[in-house]
């Protein structure tokens, strides 16, 4: 045509241009060359070129052609603007759409229904339903597209009320409108209304069925979704990948892997198995239902893998406990997004690999990936379990600095962390600042106050919780009964236990009965505790029997203790703790033959006693100590500090409780063994390594023995140092009756029973203690020290005031040799010692 000159003919060239844009196998650049060769370009040709770009998903180029059209003084017509408005809608560019709307009004095309419909659609897509409704109301002519476009805008923004008004006012409800209403009603949780719309449709297409099946799946009605799909398939209707994805998701939630396999086969039969969304949901289904091999096979043969595919496979490995495979896949990913990092970090935390959790989070920081709330929840949980308080405070500072939203889950995790680190004021600050408080947030607060000795405040918060309209659940009553147990409130504990069924319609479970058994045991009501166990409607667990066994040891009922201990050993023969406790009961009576019998039984059954292990954080580094540990680089200084502590304590009348050593050795060896318990080594190291007035925080894997309990109590009486020792779940030791709870009945060295709490607090001043160790005299302090002006202002004693102020202060820098990172919450430091790699 160029050679013959026909390209100059306006009609011929415009038809050639239209043919080239309509044929999908002709590249749009070739159409543009034809367009550029046309000399007298008509409005039709300009529209054709813009429509071609729009059809090939080049909306920006369509807008650019329009600008050229205006510059060339070509007058647009009513067919021009629908193309351009659609282009701005695809680009989600409302300002472009508004500018085009102005052009429409100036040129007088605003009365054209086709133009009006595209404007309504554009505003709806851009979430501006106000302007969409204005165009709709001012339009002189409305057709079915107008009504559908307006309805679609309300559906997109989730405005059920206005969508219902438009739907009810429609002159004629077509399939598209009814499908849109089913989608919106499903998102709003109105399943019965969605079903009513579905049943009222005269004509249903595949989208109608898909919308209702998705409605069921989104609202947890998975069986109904599966049955609806079977009904759809039984009528030999053709299905597509969208409806198959929805029903496979329902199969995943139902763990109906057989049905999922059949649907997978159907997808392959009808030729839709290659769709990436379908492959991803299949990988998720197989891995969630435990068939990791099938998921792995799908992943390996997939040729269109996307980010979701990799993330789904990583999550599948983690759910099956294959952490190593998940990490290998994570490391081999071509590109990692926040979901990938969050899945891997959360997986480590769920598998109790907390040091790996923090190490991977450090790597995430190095790669400048911004963490989300899910990631931070896992990291804070790891900090809590590792007693890494500085790291936890840094994360909280990072959250504040980054203006991240503290939702109910993240806020609850922060409350739990601060409570377990003994920072009640910080926990209360987080709770008060939370806009959204769930039941779990109240539970964490009630339990945390109780574990920190503020039992009365804990029960007050329970009353406040009910006043605020929050409905208590089973976990709430575990916390409330635990608070009563700490304070020895037998009658109040009975009242709350009875109110569970009578007032709150909650059937007590084994944990609630365990709390009551522990409450009775602490109060010395051993027979009542045993009677309650025998009357339980469910088999008692070992923790419940263990609570009674601890009470027997505390109150010296060796006969019942021996009977209960024997039963526990029979119930859980591989549990080393029960063997050891039974052995200790025999040792306290001097029955060394029975002690040897227990130890021989342990050897026969290959039961190995878990060694005592304590971890302490000093200047951003986690140090680990085992009982009798002599491998620490500063062991000489530690032992010197321990010997000095022992000498000072003897001056206060302390004598080692050698009954805690269940070995038939002389008293001097027993005293030496006691002095090298892991928590004592950690405290001695803390006195050497930590600068005052920082709190010493220790995490221990086992209970504290009588002697360690007594040593801490004597140190408390002589000084004013703050020592927080975190113990494993259901183990809590207290040494200060006045500040925490009257658990010791005034006798240092008595062993409290097991509880659900995690901390022991001993109040002393680090600087004062360190000074006295270097030659100053020790004096027994008053139980009610005078209050400073600051403490009077805050309502706390002077020995507690500096702790609360320290807890509320900013994150301090630690001069630790290692890798320095730049973080928004302050300087980050990485340092490794022993088994743990952490940041601070």
For 733, how many CA atoms within 13 A lie in the half-sphere containing its CB?
Answer: 29
Share of the chain above pLDDT 70, in %: 80
Q: Contact at 8 Å (CB) between 839 and 826? A: no
Mean pLDDT along residues 782-793: 36
More confident residue, 171 or 651: 171
Give the pLDDT of residue 498.
94
Give the pLDDT of residue 149.
94
For residue 649, pLDDT over 70 is answered with yes
114-160 pLDDT tens trace: 999 999 999 999 999 999 999 999 998 999 999 999 999 999 999 99
For residue 394, pLDDT over 80 is answered with yes
pLDDT interval class at 576 (50, 70, 90): low
- Rounded distance, CA 818 to CA 580, Å? 41
More confident residue, 346 or 24: 346
Torsion angle defined by CA atoms of residues 263, 268, 272 and 278, in that order, rounded to the nearest 10 degrees: 50
Give the pLDDT of residue 3.
56
For residue 758, pLDDT over 80 is answered with no
Give the pLDDT of residue 181.
95
Fold of 371-604: 1.25.40
Query: Which of 30-39, 191-200, 452-461, 780-789 is predicted most confidently?
Result: 191-200
Give the pLDDT of residue 747.
31
Q: In what order do the strands lie in the sheet with 613-618?
A: 621-626, 613-618, 696-700, 721-726, 759-764
For residue 669, pLDDT over 80 is answered with no
Q: How far is CA 718 from CA 685, 780, 781, in A?
A: 19, 5, 6
Give the pLDDT of residue 378.
94
Give the pLDDT of residue 6.
60
Determine which of 72-76, 191-195, 273-277 has the lowest per-residue pLDDT on average. 273-277
Mean pLDDT along residues 310-337: 92
The DSSP output letter for 753 is P
For residue 763, pLDDT over 70 is answered with no
Share of the chain above pLDDT 90, in %: 47
Give the pLDDT of residue 839.
26
Helix, strand, coil: what percent of the chain each, to 5?
65, 5, 30
Task: Give me the long-range contacts of 468-472 (CB less than 8 A, separation at least 24).
Answer: 468/437, 470/437, 470/438, 470/439, 470/442, 471/439, 472/439, 472/504, 472/506
Give the pLDDT of residue 727.
59
Query: Which of 33-47, 152-166, 293-307, 756-770 is predicted most confidently?
Result: 152-166
Determine which of 228-242, 503-517, 685-699 has the lowest per-residue pLDDT on average. 685-699
Determine which of 200-209, 568-577, 766-775 has the lowest per-residue pLDDT on average. 766-775
More confident residue, 221 or 552: 221
Give the pLDDT of residue 726.
58
Q: Shortest CA distance to 427 belongs to which of 456, 401, 403, 451?
A: 451
580-607 pLDDT tens trace: 777 777 776 677 777 777 777 777 766 6
Query: Which of 86-90, 369-373, 746-750, 769-773 is predicted most confidently?
Result: 86-90
Give the pLDDT of residue 667.
54
Determine which of 18-22, 647-651, 809-813 has the lowest per-residue pLDDT on average. 809-813
Determine the number of helices (DSSP H) and then strands (DSSP E) in the chain: 43, 8
The average confidence (pLDDT) of the chain is 80
- Rounded distance, CA 518 to CA 521, Å? 5
More confident residue, 39 or 821: 39
More confident residue, 54 or 619: 54
Give the pLDDT of residue 601.
74
- Rounded distance, CA 366 to CA 359, Å? 11
Determine which of 9-23, 84-98, 722-736, 812-826 has the lowest per-residue pLDDT on average. 812-826
pLDDT interval class at 179 (50, 70, 90): very high
712-743 pLDDT tens trace: 766 656 555 556 665 554 333 333 332 232 23
Q: Contact at 8 Å (CB) between 386 and 417? A: no
Determine which of 380-384, 524-528, 690-694, 830-834 has the lowest per-residue pLDDT on average. 830-834
- Rounded distance, CA 243 to CA 210, Å? 5
Determine which of 81-85, 146-150, 228-232, 772-776 has the lowest per-residue pLDDT on average. 772-776
- Rounded distance, CA 570 to CA 559, Å? 17
211-269 pLDDT tens trace: 999 999 999 999 999 999 998 887 667 888 999 999 999 999 999 999 999 999 999 98
Strand residue runs (E) in 108-239: none
Q: Where are the domains of the chain?
A: 371-604, 615-778
Cβ-proximal residues to 220 (8 Å cutoff; 6+ apart), any chain:
253
Give the pLDDT of residue 101.
95
- Rounded distance, CA 719 to CA 766, Å? 8
Give the pLDDT of residue 764.
35
Give the pLDDT of residue 486.
82
């Amino acid at each position: 045509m160029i050679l013959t000159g026909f390209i100059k003919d306006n009609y011929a060239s415009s038809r050639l241009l239209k043919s080239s844009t309509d044929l999908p196998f002709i590249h749009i650049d070739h159409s543009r060359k034809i367009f550029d060769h046309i000399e007298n370009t008509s409005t039709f040709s300009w529209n054709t070129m813009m429509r071609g770009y729009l059809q090939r998903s080049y909306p920006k180029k369509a807008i650019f052609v329009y600008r050229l059209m205006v510059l060339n003084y070509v007058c647009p017509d009513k067919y021009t603007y629908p193309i351009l408005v659609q282009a701005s809608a695809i680009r989600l560019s409302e300002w472009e759409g508004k500018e085009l709307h102005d052009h429409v009004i100036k040129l007088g095309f605003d009365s054209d229904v086709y133009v009006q419909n595209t404007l309504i659609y554009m505003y709806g897509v851009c979430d501006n339903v106000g302007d969409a409704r204005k165009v709709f109301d001012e339009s002189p002519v409305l057709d079915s597209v107008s009504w559908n476009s307006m309805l679609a805008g309300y559906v997109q923004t989730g405005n059920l009320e206005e969508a219902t008004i438009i739907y009810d006012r429609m002159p004629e409800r077509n399939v598209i409108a009814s499908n849109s209403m089913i989608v919106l009603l499903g998102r709003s949780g109105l399943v019965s209304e969605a079903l009513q719309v579905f049943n009222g449709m005269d004509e249903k297409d595949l989208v109608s069925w898909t919308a209702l099946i998705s409605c069921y799946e989104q609202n947890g009605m998975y069986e109904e979704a599966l049955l609806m799909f079977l009904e759809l398939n039984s009528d030999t209707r053709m299905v597509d990948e969208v409806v198959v994805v929805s029903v496979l998701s329902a199969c995943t939630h139902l763990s109906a892997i057989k049905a999922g396999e059949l649907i997978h086969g159907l997808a392959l039969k009808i030729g839709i198995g290659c769709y990436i969304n379908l492959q991803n949901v299949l990988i998720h289904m197989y891995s969630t239902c435990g068939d990791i091999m099938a998921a792995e096979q799908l992943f390996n043969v997939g040729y269109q893998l996307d980010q979701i595919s990799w993330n789904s496979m990583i999550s599948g490995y983690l759910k099956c406990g294959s952490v190593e495979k998940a990490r290998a896949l994570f490391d081999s990913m071509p590109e990692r997004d926040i979901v990938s990092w969050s899945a891997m970090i959360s997986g480590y935390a769920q598998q109790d690999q907390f040091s790996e959790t923090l190490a991977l989070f450090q790597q995430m920081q190095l790669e400048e990936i911004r963490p989300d709330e899910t990631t931070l929840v896992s990291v804070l949980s790891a900090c809590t379990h590792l007693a890494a308080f500085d790291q936890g405070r840094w994360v909280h500072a990072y959250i504040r600095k980054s203006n991240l939203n503290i939702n109910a889950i993240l806020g609850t995790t922060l409350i739990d962390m601060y409570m377990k680190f003994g920072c009640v004021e910080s926990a209360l600050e987080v709770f008060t600042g939370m806009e959204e408080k769930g039941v779990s947030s109240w539970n964490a607060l009630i339990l945390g106050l109780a574990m920190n000795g503020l039992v009365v405040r804990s029960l007050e918060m329970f009353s406040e919780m009910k006043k605020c309209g929050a409905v208590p659940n089973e976990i709430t009553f575990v916390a409330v009964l635990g608070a009563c147990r700490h304070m020895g409130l037998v009658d109040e504990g009975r009242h709350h236990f009875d109110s569970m069924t009578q007032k709150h319609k909650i059937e007590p479970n084994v944990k609630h009965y365990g709390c009551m058994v522990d409450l009775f045991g602490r109060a010395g009501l051993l027979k009542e505790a045993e009677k309650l166990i025998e009357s339980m409607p469910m088999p008692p667990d070992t923790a419940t029997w263990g609570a009674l066994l601890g009470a027997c040891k505390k109150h010296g009922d060796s006969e019942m203790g021996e009977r209960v201990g024997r039963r526990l050993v029979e119930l859980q023969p591989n549990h080393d703790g029960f063997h050891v406790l039974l052995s200790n009961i025999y040792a306290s009576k001097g029955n060394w033959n029975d002690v040897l019998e227990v130890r021989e039984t342990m050897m026969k059954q290959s039961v190995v006693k878990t060694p005592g292990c304590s971890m302490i954080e000093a200047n951003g580094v986690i140090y680990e100590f085992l009982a009798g540990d002599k491998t620490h680089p500063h062991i000489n200084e530690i032992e010197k500090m321990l010997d000095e502590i022992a000498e000072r304590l003897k001056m206060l009348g302390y004598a080692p409780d050698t009954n805690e050593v269940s070995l038939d050795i002389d008293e001097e060896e027993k005293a030496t063994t006691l002095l090298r318990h892991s928590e004592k080594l950690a405290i001695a190291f803390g006195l050497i390594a930590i600068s005052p007035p920082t709190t010493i925080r220790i995490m221990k894997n086992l209970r504290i023995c009588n002697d360690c309990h007594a040593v801490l109590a004597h140190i408390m009486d002589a000084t004013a140092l703050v020592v927080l020792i975190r113990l494993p779940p259901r183990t809590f030791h207290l040494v200060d009756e006045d500040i925490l709870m009257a658990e010791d009945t005034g006798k240092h060295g008595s062993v409290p029973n097991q509880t659900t709490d995690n901390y022991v607090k001993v109040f002393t001043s680090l600087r004062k203690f360190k000074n006295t160790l270097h030659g100053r005299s020790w004096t027994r302090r008053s139980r009610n020290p005078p209050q400073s002006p600051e403490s009077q202002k805050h309502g706390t004693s002077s020995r507690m005031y500096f702790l609360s102020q320290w807890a509320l202060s900013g994150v301090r820098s630690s001069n630790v040799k290692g890798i320095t990172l730049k973080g928004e919450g302050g300087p980050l430091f990485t340092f490794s010692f022993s088994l743990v790699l952490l940041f601070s």
